Amino acid sequence: MDYPDGGFSIFRSEKMILAQFVLPWETAPSSVRELGISGTVHFVDKNAGLTAAKRNYTRQVKACGEARRALRFFHNELVDEKMEASDNEVEGADGVIQIQEYKMEELQAVFEELEQGLKLQKDNALQLAKHKTELIEMREVLTRCEKIFERTFKEANESVSSYQAEGHEKQD
């Protein structure tokens, strides 16, 4: 169906053609991203029958899997701490919401750094909790020892007082 402005409908039942793009390696990611954002192209995986090891972009697929694992880890940590993640959407001056874009390599570096920091923080929190428990235990032991010493000191003073009261003189 042709539209007066030359655009396309959002309905998938619209007539489509299968085409293959051959793009230079340097411009392929940005070109595919722009086509995806425009919404005028539907991408189909023509290598669906191949195993992951036989695909051209195995390394990138593994990187995406690792990024997904890291995001799931961060999400679970946020849920455990009852926190919410913020969106990466920024409203522009014209009121249009713009989504910030990142390169995969940048995200991997950030995820790795954040994951290491979060694991270190969790380890430190566990260590602090352990030390706190040990200190509380020590305080309780010292408190009980203090009570024992006070009672023993009081009993010793009473014994000395009663001994002196019986007529014995204090010997130096």
Straight-line distance from the first to the last Cα atom of the chain, in angstroms, rounded to the nearest whole number: 118
Residue 22 counted as domain residue: no
Determine contact, residues 104/60, Cβ cutoff 8 Å.
yes
Residue 53, domain member (yes or no): yes
Q: Report yes or no on 2 lying in a domain.
A: no
pLDDT at 27: 84
- Tell me the mean pLDDT in the region 97-121: 80
Instruction: Note whether 130 and 89 are within 8 A (CB).
Output: no
Per the structure, how many domains does the chain have? 1
User: Does 12 fall in a domain?
Assistant: no
Quote the domain boundaries for residue 48: 27-86+93-167
What backbone torsions phi and psi does residue 33 show, to the nearest 5 degrees?
-60, -45
What pTM, to 2 d.p., does this model score? Answer: 0.45
For residues 93 and 118, which has the higher predicted lDDT (pLDDT)? Answer: 118
What are the residue ranges of helices labelled H in 39-103?
58-80
Asked if residue 172 is part of any domain, the answer here is no
**What are the pLDDT digits (tens) for 110-144?**
888 888 998 899 999 999 999 999 999 999 999 99
DSSP-assigned letter for residue 97: E
Q: What is the torsional sign of CA 85, 91, 97, 99? A: negative
Q: Is residue 44 part of a domain?
A: yes
Flag whether 108 is in a domain: yes
Specify the pLDDT at position 135: 96
pLDDT, averaged across the chain: 79
Q: Which candidate, 63, 72, 59, 60, places its Cα nearest to that of 115?
A: 72
Task: Judge whether 65 lies within some domain.
Answer: yes
